[in-house]
Structure 1
Amino acid sequence: MKEQACTAVGAAAGGSAAAILLYESALGLGMACGPLLGALLGNASWRYPFFGTAFLMAVGFLCIAVFLKELPKPVQKTSLLDPIKALGHGGLASAAVSSFFYNYTFFTVLAFTPFVLDMTPYRSGGVFFAWGLLLAVSSVLVAPRLQRRFGSLTVLGGSLVLLAVDVLVLGYGSHTTAVVCTILSGAFIGVNNTVYTELALGVSDAPRPVASAGYNFVRWFAAAAAPFFAPRIEEWSDIHMPFVVAAVSAVLGAAVVVVRRKSLTHEVEELEVRHASEDSVGVFSN
């Protein structure tokens, strides 16, 4: 879903690089403000956060309908199997598998940590507000600078390992340590989100909507699994083990990046020409 949105924003912003930064900044700010708004509404009734979410989604829909011009229809029709076929590209498949492991860690932090922190709605909202701000800053300001200096794959592998360490300390530390590590995880998650989005959009020669559909098909299985398995793992063992599993999952994501490095490295010039032509269609006029 994120990559499809970036494709649409890319048409408006004039290119995928600008689209990713615009989208990640908006996503990070939304993730920062969401917990605070949820705490404010939830303090009145547990139903109100859902009403608030529905209202904001309606606003988002209206903004798309009013401000986003319709994109031209693709010349070639896309079948339901095309996203699966696109995963035959080694680079895209590697990015999807690595992101699968990363998303398990991400959603363990997002869905399971609030139960472990066991805080009031306002305190929990404050923690995840700081987490979201750090996510936004790292995804928009930090990630691009690190990529230019060290390269995308080095940054991604290192960030995944650091996220694993952070989650492990979160699981075994004191309550204060868990709060600090929860907030700090936003920095690594922000960097990872930016790099993974760029990989999904540019690592293969498949059309971006097709490539992103195949990529999302794989990674969202982990996003669905983590909220279910994390509490089950706690029931089967102890409170620490869900974070151990999440840390191992992040390390596995980094291992895929290292082992499949050649597949994730593509001919930049060839793909830039192809994707630049995709970016040029449907750009907003001033």
Structure 2
Amino acid sequence: MGVGVVDPILPEISSALNASPGQTELLFSTYLFVSAALMFFASWVATRIGRKKTLLIGLAIIVTFATACALSGHVNLIIGFRGGWGVGNALFVSTALATVLGASADPRRAIMLYEGALGAGMALGPLVGGAVGSLSWRGPFLATAVLMAIGLIAIAFFVPATPIDTSRRRSAAEPFKAVVDSRLSILMAAALFYNYGYFTLLAYAPFPVAEASVRAGRQFTPLDLGLVFFGWGLMVALGSVWLGPRCCEHVGIRRTVTATLVLFTIDEIILATWISPIPQVIGVIIGGLFIGIINTAMTEIVMSASDIQREVASSAYSGIRFLGGACAPTLAGILRSVWGIGGPYYVGAVTLVVTIALMWVDRRHRMRRCAHSVALQ
């Protein structure tokens, strides 16, 4: 919920603090770049102090910096505090995935529930953000602090302490080695490009939606945007928990990913070319369904592609995901000024096409390795 709670107030912050859309997008990119950089070291921390302590420290940091954002009065201060927020996010997100996988005997179901929970949180976050953001742009930041405090208390009481196995400690370099591991490198590159396209929709969409409403002679409020992203998040959850697993079961996981990436590419092209309220709202919401399906399937593919320790694989994959996501809002302002309001979406569509190509290359490499291992036997 803490990720999406800020989405509906991006145009509001831009107006209230006299910030350009590019500056406002830095609220996302600073947070995501810091998260991405430190996620690579989350496994090093978790294997030394334990998963539970890592989760608690991460949430405590988020509570502190979300509160600082709410009390700030200048966009540059908020951008800086969002960087601190990203430190807590890095410790929490990658460790949470490893913790959920470690607590379940069925990795596929664990990943499905993990991505479904993310989708549900992203559905409720913008709704809360839109409601309190209608009162003040500071409200969503305070709401995030409260939500993260609830999460902290829940983990403190309900998540069992995790024993520290000194024999399983890993060096800080392990996640970087995982990124270039021959079994994972192409998939990591695919995740990087896919998350650029994904976060283009998540971080940039409020601005085209607001622009489309202005062109139609009305004004989208933070609550209106919250409702749009509530629908988007519901679709993410639906795709993660229900439609995605069924498609993977009946069609195959890689075919599901490829077909959904094609549909997502078409969706971003439509969003780039058709700047009017109904296509924008429908395009954003239906995009959530595609994202939910792809997120669950790609996470499963990456996490099962090698026998690398879960903390290490989770740190590497989470870091790459957030790095790709950080690039999207960082470049959105520049692309919009050069190619117009649809520019960021066109580039997002191109990155999705690159993702499709990389998934195909990875499949060919895996088929070749399997054939080689059979020949050796």
TM-score by length of 1: 0.88
Secondary structure of the residue aligned to 2:205 is: helix
Shift of 1:265: 6.5
Unaligned stretches of 5+ in structure 2?
1-91, 211-219, 371-377
Letter in structure 2 aligned against 1:172: T
Structure 2 partner of 1:39: 130
Letter in structure 2 aligned against 1:217: G
Structure 2 partner of 1:56: 147
Structure 1 partner of 2:335: 233
Shift of 1:11: 3.0
> Which of 238, 244, 247 is the matching residue for 1:143?
244
Structure 1 partner of 2:172: 80
Rounded Cα–Cα distance in structure 2 between residues aligned with 1:126 and 1:222: 26
Rounded Cα–Cα distance in structure 2 between residues aligned with 1:68 and 1:265: 40
> Which of 169, 175, 178 is the matching residue for 2:277?
175
Structure 2 partner of 1:115: 207
Shift of 1:77: 1.8
1:163–1:188 CA contact under 8 A, matched in 2 = yes
Structure 2 partner of 1:280: none
Structure 1 partner of 2:231: 130
Matches within 5 A, 1:273-284: none
Letter in structure 1 aligned against 2:283: C
Unaligned stretches of 5+ in structure 1?
269-286
1:104–1:222 CA contact under 8 A, matched in 2 = yes
Does 1:252 pair with 2:357?
Answer: no
Does 1:99 pair with 2:200?
Answer: no
Structure 1 partner of 2:159: 68
Structure 2 partner of 1:213: 315
Instruction: Show CA shifts across 1:146-205 (max 9, x none).
Output: 111121111111111111110110111132111111110011000011012112221111
Structure 2 partner of 1:159: 260
Instruction: Show CA shifts across 1:112-132 (max 9, x none).
Output: 110111121111111111111
Q: Which structure is higher in RCO with an 8 Å CA cutoff and minimum separation 6? A: 1
Structure 2 partner of 1:21: 112
Letter in structure 1 aligned against 2:302: A
Letter in structure 2 aligned against 1:181: G
Letter in structure 2 aligned against 1:189: I
Structure 2 partner of 1:274: none
Rounded Cα–Cα distance in structure 2 between residues aligned with 1:50 and 1:210: 31
Shift of 1:139: 0.7
Secondary structure of the residue aligned to 2:103 is: helix
2:239–2:292 CA contact under 8 A, matched in 1 = yes
1:7–1:16 CA contact under 8 A, matched in 2 = no
Secondary structure of the residue aligned to 1:193 is: helix
Distance 1:155 1:87, change over 3 A: same
TM-score by length of 2: 0.68
Distance 1:46 1:265, change over 3 A: farther
Structure 1 partner of 2:28: none
2:134–2:222 CA contact under 8 A, matched in 1 = yes
Rounded Cα–Cα distance in structure 2 between residues aligned with 1:222 and 1:22: 23
Shift of 1:266: 11
Rounded Cα–Cα distance in structure 2 between residues aligned with 1:189 and 1:199: 15
Rounded Cα–Cα distance in structure 2 between residues aligned with 1:199 and 1:264: 12
2:97–2:314 CA contact under 8 A, matched in 1 = no
Shift of 1:101: 0.7
Instruction: Show CA shifts across 1:207-252 (max 9, x none).
Output: 1111121222323222111111012101122112111100001111
Letter in structure 2 aligned against 1:39: G
1:143–1:194 CA contact under 8 A, matched in 2 = yes
1:203–1:266 CA contact under 8 A, matched in 2 = no
1:12–1:68 CA contact under 8 A, matched in 2 = no
Distance 1:216 1:266, change over 3 A: farther
1:92–1:264 CA contact under 8 A, matched in 2 = no
Shift of 1:6: 2.5
Letter in structure 2 aligned against 1:62: I
Rounded Cα–Cα distance in structure 2 between residues aligned with 1:47 and 1:265: 52
Instruction: Show CA shifts across 1:89-129 (max 9, x none).
Output: 22321221101111111111111110111121111111111
Structure 2 partner of 1:276: none
Rounded Cα–Cα distance in structure 2 between residues aligned with 1:65 and 1:146: 37
Letter in structure 2 aligned against 1:41: V
RMSD, aligned CA:
1.9
Shift of 1:70: 2.0
The number of aligned residues is 268
Shift of 1:3: 4.9
Structure 2 partner of 1:284: none
